[in-house]
Structure 1
Amino acid sequence: MGSASSMLTQYDIEEVQEHCHNLFSQQEIVSLYQRFCQLDRNAKGFISTDEFLSVPEFAMNPLSQRLLKMVDGLNFKDFVAFLSAFSAKASIQQKIELIFKVYDSDCNGKVSYNDILEVLRDLSGSFMSDEQREQVLTQLLKEAGFSRDAYLTLDNFIKVFGKSGLKMEVEVPVD
């Protein structure tokens, strides 16, 4: 696909579509490419941390630092693949896999009590005390059949969240 400033060919569009499991139409991919080029201010072919933080919605997200670890340096194809979890057509499993990666910050394939506690801290800020967070988390894990010492795998996450009716979508404006 070359540099970000070059135009997408039909082959590029189809390749990206295949890479993201056909969750975006060709028009949506072209729109995403235009947005990618706007973010890639220096036309390097990837988006840096600073460029991601220039998106106000991203910068204000309480999980932005965790997400930055996942998105820093993405090229266009991987940018679309990342966003595909937010597609209305994405499966619940694809959405849960993304959430799991947010929690599994050390990328060891397991989420510990402390990993979840850190995310809760990021999400709740000063609205909850550490003691309140620990009580909520301990109760939640107990109800799901896990102890405080358990490590949750992706399969555990799918079992717990798979029935939740998780709604995680973003609309891609098509020009």
Structure 2
Amino acid sequence: MGNKLVIFTEQQLENYQDCTFFTRKEILRVHKRFREVEPDVVPKCMTENQPMTVRVSLAAMEKLPELRENPFKKRICEVFSRDGKGNLSFEDFLDLLSVFSEQAPRDIKVFYAFCIYDFDGDQHIGPEDLDQTLKLLTRQELNCEEMQQIVEKVIEEADVDGDGKLSFMEFEHVITRAPDFLSTFHIRI
């Protein structure tokens, strides 16, 4: 028998399976993918607390083919990083890919989509959040007046309680009526 490289302990693998939508094999594939991002930074074997402490930079993450063309790549990394700056540990990266996997349930995807669009982190999607979203989606091709009209229309259509911003429940209601949401909110490993 050849020597088998042990990347994680049995307990770590069990914990990752319990906390994600991945099999053991997929978790090991995610680790391999994570290591490929910055091989000089990420060790082959993750010991003790390294899965939480070894971080890959936001700049390196943004170059991943799965994120490179996504206008929200920086924001996605910020939401999933424990440091809030977009630098991802293995566990952060595993969480990100788990949420964006096809196996993740719709309600988890809706929750994280809300977090991604809530740029200021105030638990609402307000006009400023919608403005930033539009700038990213349109690559700043709209003028201020066009942007303002779209923001006003979105709030008018989705703001049920009339407070001028979208709560999670209002956002969820809009997203559940969007049949393409699930097909656009995933990343394959």
TM-score, scaled to structure 1: 0.81
Q: Name the structure, 1 or 2, with higher relative contact order (CA <8 Å, separation 6+).
A: 1
Aligned length: 166
Whether the aligned pair in 2 keeps the contact of 1:138 and 1:147 (CA below 8 Å) is no
Q: How does 1:137-148 map to 2 (within 5 A)?
A: 137-146=151-160
Q: Deviations over 1:1-49 (max 9, x none)?
A: xxxx9712332221111122xx112211110010111124312722211
Please report how far the alpha carbon of residue 115 of structure 1 lies from its aligned counterpart in structure 2 after TM superposition. 0.8
Q: Which residue of 1 aligns with 2:67?
A: 58
Runs (4+) off by over 6 Å: none
Hey, what's the Cα distance between the residues in 2 that align with 1:6 and 1:75? 19
Please report how far the alpha carbon of residue 149 of structure 1 lies from its aligned counterpart in structure 2 after TM superposition. 5.5
Q: Which residue of 2 aligns with 1:25?
A: 23
- Counterpart check, 1:36 vs 2:34: yes
Please report how far the alpha carbon of residue 76 of structure 1 lies from its aligned counterpart in structure 2 after TM superposition. 1.6
Q: How does 1:34-113 map to 2 (within 5 A)?
A: 34-41=32-39, 42-43=41-42, 45-70=54-79, 71=81, 72-113=86-127
TM-score, scaled to structure 2: 0.76
Q: Which residue of 2 aligns with 1:16?
A: 16
Summarize the Cα distance change of 1:6–1:129 in structure 2 as closer, same or farther, 3 Å threshold.
farther
Q: Percent identity among equivalent residues? A: 23
Instruction: Please tell me the root mean square deviation across aligned C-alpha atoms, in Å.
Output: 2.4
Q: List runs of 5+ in structure 1 lacking aligned partners.
A: none
Q: Which residue of 2 aligns with 1:136?
A: 150
Summarize the Cα distance change of 1:147–1:124 in structure 2 as closer, same or farther, 3 Å threshold.
farther
Q: List runs of 5+ in structure 2 lacking aligned partners.
A: 43-52
Please report how far the alpha carbon of residue 147 of structure 1 lies from its aligned counterpart in structure 2 after TM superposition. 8.4
